[in-house]
Amino acid sequence: MATSVNSVFVFKVALKHQKRIWRKIAIRGDQTLATLHNAIFVAFDRDDHHLYSFYFSSRPTSTSRNRLAGALRYGCPYSETDDRADITRVDSLPLNLKGRFEYLFDYGDEWWHEITLEEIHPPQKDVKYPLVIASGGDSPAQYPDAEDF
């Protein structure tokens, strides 16, 4: 998808198995996937950092485990198996309007998210991106059973 370097991408980020919990995040095309990860981390009220990856698959809405076979994968700068999210710009990704991809935060607890590109538009003057522009549902606790310990 050809876009201007000055484009802003608006993503709806929903918990994959609790889609009523979502955030809309606007990010400039010249910002990286690591920047998007950090915006998601803050938007979902997380407080403990973990490994993460973004997956670009032809079957992101499938629930089968093989949906990620052959997917493009971008992750933490110190990941040994992923392309690096910290140098991959949003405007370099294979994105289409209404297209979806997945984000996994914390390989142990597996917080899966489905991300949909909702719109692309010029940036607003004097706005600092990334920016959470809408939300639905309360963020679940990062460690829901922590109070049991």
For 87-127, the pLDDT digits (tens) are 999 999 999 999 999 999 998 899 999 999 999 999 999 99
Beta carbons of 50 and 58 less than 8 angstroms apart: no
Residue reference for tokens 């309360």: 138
CA 83/CA 25 separation, integer angstroms: 23
Task: Note whether residue 89 is domain-resident.
Answer: yes
Task: Note whether residue 147 is domain-resident.
Answer: no
Residue reference for tokens 């700068």: 77
> Is residue 19's pLDDT more than 80?
yes
The CATH number for 123's domain is 3.10.290.30
Task: Note whether residue 148 is domain-resident.
Answer: no
Model confidence pLDDT, tens digit, residues 55-72: 998 765 666 667 788 889
| Residue 148 pLDDT grade (very low, low, confident, very high; cuts 50, 70, 90) | very low
Task: Note whether residue 145 is domain-resident.
Answer: no
Average pLDDT along the chain: 89
Beta bridge partners of 100: 116
Task: Note whether residue 1 is domain-resident.
Answer: no
| Residue 147 pLDDT grade (very low, low, confident, very high; cuts 50, 70, 90) | low
Give how many domains the chain has, as a whole number: 1
Q: Which domain holds residue 132?
A: 8-140
What is the reported pTM? 0.88
**β-strands 83-84, 131-136 pairing:** unpaired
